[in-house]
Amino acid sequence: MHILSHVGEGDGIGAGAQERPRFRVSDRSPEELRRRLEPWLSGQFPGAEDVRIDSVHAPPANGMSSQSLLLDVRWRSDGRENAAAWVARIAPAEDAWPVYPRYDLERQFRTLRAIAAAGIPAPRALWLEPSGDLLGAPFLVMERVYGQVPPDVMPYTFEGWVLDASAEQRARMQQATIRLLARLHAVDPQRFGFLEPVDSSAATPLGRHLAPEASYVEWIVEGDARSPLLDRGFEWLRANVPAEEGPPVVTWGDARIGNVMYRDFEPVAVFDWETAALAPAELDLAWFVWLHWSFQDLAVMAGLPGLPDFLRVGEVISGYARAGGRPPQDFHWHLVYAAIRHSAVMSRVGRRMVAFGERKPVGDIDELVFNRRLVEKLLDGQWPDWAD
């Protein structure tokens, strides 16, 4: 799990953009968080005594969809001292420019529990506080897991343990993660009916997935500059939608190695289930490839070799088939869909950074999408030179 706390204020994105409001990001001290959380945690332990939080802090490496706190907790029960390490995941404040318009922690909590019950290695979800009364936003608490996570900053294609690993170690990591995806997609989707959207009239699972993604773009640009790249992308997607689609499976939604914790290059925990859905398996496979492509593209732009031989399309598809997965269909369409979905998030993140004064306004709104030229190549039917 990754968190960035952005503090500041900003104005519009480009020329003519409407003036932005000031933004608030929680700046509660660890002591205040401890004071608020200790009584609540005591209520989760009937019969426990002297529940106390020894430390509470935010991890340094993060993304922006939520905030997380690392908690080290002690308590007494039946005359014995107990200790545990947990993570509290807090929904973003509505006035802090969240990345998504709605952050459904209850859905995430149910997904985490159902995924773990199905044998997928997810952190154990312990409690949910849905009201927001305690910390100003809903939050859930889950067990902390230990291991190595491929870094986003700096990307693992620039430096770090994945880049430093041997080709054999990365191959083991790649196939183990692909096997994990195949296991997830083999889970009985009927146990995850709560992932079905309740307000969609689309006839197919892919259609029910595509419609809210298009609505997300409209939410991003509301009162601001439209994105020609995103408009072109959704026009292409609608014009080329697959005639047939695979059966709906439980999809992770954010399937990438940066959301997996590893020990000895084997997955031990899978994080970030806020975009889980019942949809064709291709959504996860294409996202899995595209998110690596996006980091590899950054390395190439920086003049670095990166990892061009890692997570290649042919190897991902053949490895998925060996793991029992159904061969993907219309993979180029799904790669474009992954690229446009990711570009929408990056556009929102870029606009948010401008609004917080973390980068200057741009004349061309699509310069906020750092993989823009790679996305444009995909829309033109081309793949990068370093990809299969």
The mean pLDDT value for 153-161 works out to 96
Q: What is the pLDDT of residue 65?
A: 59
- Give 361's contacts (C-beta < 8 A, 6+ positions apart): 11, 12, 13, 14, 15, 17, 354
30-143 shares its CATH topology with 161-379: no
Q: What is the pLDDT of residue 200?
A: 66
Element (H, E) at 77: strand 67-77
Residue 120 near residue 184 (C-beta atoms within 8 A): yes
Q: What is the pLDDT of residue 66?
A: 67
Q: b/e map of 149-178 (b: 16 or more CB within 10 Å)?
A: bbbbeebbbbeeebbebeeeebbbbbbbbb
**pLDDT for 296-331, tens place per residue?**
999 999 999 999 999 999 999 999 999 999 999 999
**pLDDT for 37-91, tens place per residue?**
999 999 998 888 889 999 988 776 544 556 788 999 999 988 899 999 999 999 8
Q: What is the pLDDT of residue 20?
A: 38
The mean pLDDT value for 103-132 works out to 94
pLDDT band at 197; cut points 50, 70, 90: confident
pLDDT band at 30; cut points 50, 70, 90: confident
Tell whether the model's pLDDT for residue 135 goes beyond 50.
Answer: yes
Tell whether the model's pLDDT for residue 140 goes beyond 70.
Answer: yes
Q: What is the pLDDT of residue 3?
A: 29
Residue 229: half-sphere exposure toward Cβ, Cα within 13 Å:
26
The mean pLDDT value for 219-234 works out to 93
Mean pLDDT in the chain?
88
- Region 161-379: CATH code: 3.90.1200.10
Which entry of 224, 254, 272, 297 is annotated as an active-site residue? Answer: 254
Q: What is the pLDDT of residue 344?
A: 97
Q: What is the pLDDT of residue 198?
A: 66
Q: What is the pLDDT of residue 60?
A: 63
Strand intervals (E) in 167-322 = 249-251, 260-263, 266-270, 277-279
The question of whether 254 is a catalytic residue gets the answer: yes
> What are the backbone angles phi and psi of residue 210, rounded to the nearest 5°?
-70, -40
In percent, the amount of the chain with pLDDT more than 70 equals 89
- Give 235's contacts (C-beta < 8 A, 6+ positions apart): none
Picking from 109, 107, 139, the residue whose alpha carbon sits closest to that of residue 40 is 139
Picking from 178, 158, 175, the residue whose alpha carbon sits closest to that of residue 167 is 175
Alpha carbon distance 135, 137 (integer Å): 5
Tell whether the model's pLDDT for residue 352 goes beyond 50.
Answer: yes
pLDDT band at 16; cut points 50, 70, 90: very low
Q: What is the pLDDT of residue 7?
A: 24
Q: b/e map of 230-243 (b: 16 or more CB within 10 Å)?
A: beebbebbeeeeee
Alpha carbon distance 284, 290 (integer Å): 10
Partnered with residue 267 across adjacent β-strands are 262
Tell whether the model's pLDDT for residue 17 goes beyond 60.
Answer: no
CATH superfamily of this structure's domain 30-143: Phosphorylase Kinase; domain 1 (3.30.200.20)
Alpha carbon distance 162, 173 (integer Å): 9
* Per-domain residue ranges of the chain: 30-143, 161-379
Q: What is the pLDDT of residue 18?
A: 36
**pLDDT for 103-115, tens place per residue?**
899 999 999 999 9
pLDDT band at 222; cut points 50, 70, 90: confident
Q: How far apart are the first and last CA of the chain?
A: 30
